[in-house]
A = this chain, B = another copy of it.
Amino acid sequence: MTFSNELHVAVVGATGAVGTRMIQTLEESNFPLTKLSLLSSARSAGKKVLFRGQELTVEIATPDKFEGVHIALFSAGGGVSKELAPEAVKRGAIVVDNTSAFRMDEGVPLVVPEVNEKDLLTHQGIIANPNCSTIQMVVALEPIRRAYGLKKVIVSTYQAVSGSGAAAIDELNKQTRNIIAGEEVTPEVLPVKGDKKHYQIVGNAIPQIDKFEDNGFTFEEMKMINETKKIMHLPDLHVAATCVRLPVETGHSESVYFETDQSDVTSAAIKDLLAASPGIILEDNPSEQLYPMPINCVGKNEVFVGRVRKDLDNNEGFHMWVVSDNLLKGAAWNSVQIASSLLKLGLVK
């Protein structure tokens, strides 16, 4: 490692659904930091957080707070990132940004360490953490691309409310209590906090995550499409996505159809490959009813893959079911992995 003995890390959005996981993950992974700054909006400033036995106070995120910071992990919404990430970079920090603010910008590496860690070498201060639903999918697809090529992906997602933040988790829990008590439900957050209409999530499946684009796809679907091409360096890959929100607190699931370049690949070969690939746990044994489920992935860093089977009509086609904790591999853990990669590659000075 080339950084000095000091390693100062800042977490921006420290009290949010992802920020709290970032702090936990930094602690649990023994990340070699020597100082941790917890930053937030004025509303959450002053809160106390225990980290490695020390009580830290959350401070208001202002430009000067990034003086001396080596790595700043941002997860406080796109607006905050747009305003403060350049300020952090100006003061010498490397920003790992968990929002969509810079992901598609040229010169901003969009990184999933299992897939494209080397892209970090070209960073210009800001590194983007991809969308949660994209990350778990590319972790599962990358070993397949390397071994057999990849030409087409069609994904339908089953996404947890925590992907929409702490307010959405509160809404799911409140609605559940309301319904059990026979009370009226007043949706205020989902599907998209800033959109016009809100719908009940309990007992429902909402085919809208983030706002709609002019082409009829949602922004979440376009994120999956565009980010996958960028991360995998496959600008011509055919990718289509349908993103759906479910009454699940944490853990995104994905029904993924993909086509390889090679024909005559067997599903057994795909399973062996996935089982041996970094960051993946294969859970695939139909006779034992073993397959990934969101309820089992919570709190785990890995991407769980199962239900791998060959398409019945297309010799190059396969189906699989991919599940991961959207707050960990989909956000906090991937950000901390990026930070670790930055250290490993000698990029933190």
Contact = CB atoms under 8 A, between A and B. Distances in A.
A156 B255 contact: yes
Contact of A286 (B212, B242, B257, B287): B212
Contact of A240 (B199, B203, B319): B319
A216 B308 contact: yes
A255 B156 CA distance: 7
Nearest to A252: B205
Contact of A203 (B196, B294, B306): B294
Interface stretch (A4-12, A85-93, A243-251): A243-251
A116 interface: no
A311 interface: yes
A41 interface: no
Nearest to A267: B216
A204 B307 contact: no
Nearest to A254: B156
Q: Which of A205, A242, A291, A307 has the most CB of B within 10 A?
A: A205
B307 A242 contact: yes
B203 A295 contact: yes
Nearest to A179: B176
A179 B179 CA distance: 13
A207 interface: yes
Nearest to A185: B295
Contact of A291 (B177, B208, B286): B208
Which applies to chain A's interface (DSSP): helix, strand, loop or mixed?
mixed
A170 interface: no
Number of chain copies forming the complex: 2
A317 interface: yes
A290 to B, nearest CB: 9
Interface in A304-343: 306-314, 317, 319, 321
Given A197-B289, A208-B291, A295-B199, A255 B244 contact: yes
Interface residues of A, number: 59
B207 A248 contact: no
Nearest to A306: B207
Contacts of A287: 212
B199 A293 contact: yes
Contacts of A195: 289
Contact of A309 (B154, B216, B295): B216
Contact of A180 (B177, B308, B321): B177
A246 B231 CA distance: 31
A248 B200 CA distance: 12
Interface string A183-215: 000000001000111011001111110001001
A294 B204 contact: yes
8 contacts: A158-B158, A197-B289, A207-B307, A215-B312, A216-B310, A240-B311, A240-B317, A242-B255
Interface of A: 152, 154, 156, 158, 176-177, 179-180, 191, 195-197, 199-200, 203-208, 212, 215-217, 225, 238-240, 242, 244, 246-249, 253, 255, 257, 267, 286-289, 291-295, 306-314, 317, 319, 321
Closest 3 CB pairs of A and B: A216-B309, A156-B156, A212-B286
